[in-house]
Amino acid sequence: MSDPNFVILYVRSPAESAAFYAALLDKRPAEASPTFAMFPLDSGVMLGLWAAHTVQPPATAAGGSEVAFAVDDDEAVRALHAAWTAKGIVIAQPLTGMDFGYTFVALDPDGHRLRVFAPSSP
């Protein structure tokens, strides 16, 4: 069995979400239609944005989740926090130290949680 290589977020508007992620990731989607957009990430993982009203079988809320971005150090966390705040991205958790590292959480247009963190040294 292979490792998961797609993350798919159910969104209200793939066009709106694609514009948000294009600005956030500084890249254009490789695929875009009225119901779906896809970004190939540098890690090889694909980020899909699927119109929630077209998902089959219909999507149901299964609980919270996050898309996480690990960065090298606390300064990189602060830099992304400043850049995302300047872009007007909603910050749900301010810069804070947690047991796993320095972090903050932002929200995309649909309320998906985007966690940036610098892992603590073992």
List the one residue out of 83, 63, 99 whose CA is nearest residue 91. 83
Which residue do the tokens 């090889």 mark? Answer: 44
pLDDT at 62: 61
* Domains defined for the chain, CATH in brackets: 6-54 (3.30.720.120), 66-119 (3.10.180.10)
Per cent of the chain over pLDDT 90 is 87
Task: Tell me the C-alpha distance between 80 and 83, whole Å.
Answer: 5
Look at 86 and 64; give whichever has higher pLDDT. 86
DSSP string, 21-72: HHHHHTS--SEE-SSEEEEE-TTS-EEEEEEGGG-SSPP------EEEEE-S
pTM above 0.85, yes or no: yes
List the one residue out of 108, 81, 86 whose CA is nearest residue 17. 108
Cβ of 24: how many Cβ atoms within 10 Å? 18
Mean pLDDT of all residues belonging to the chain: 93
Residues 6+ apart with CB under 8 A from 78: 95
pLDDT at 4: 86
In which band, very low, low, confident or very high, does the pLDDT at 39 lie, cut at 50, 70 and 90? very high
- pLDDT at 54 > cutoff 70: yes
- pLDDT at 2 > cutoff 80: no
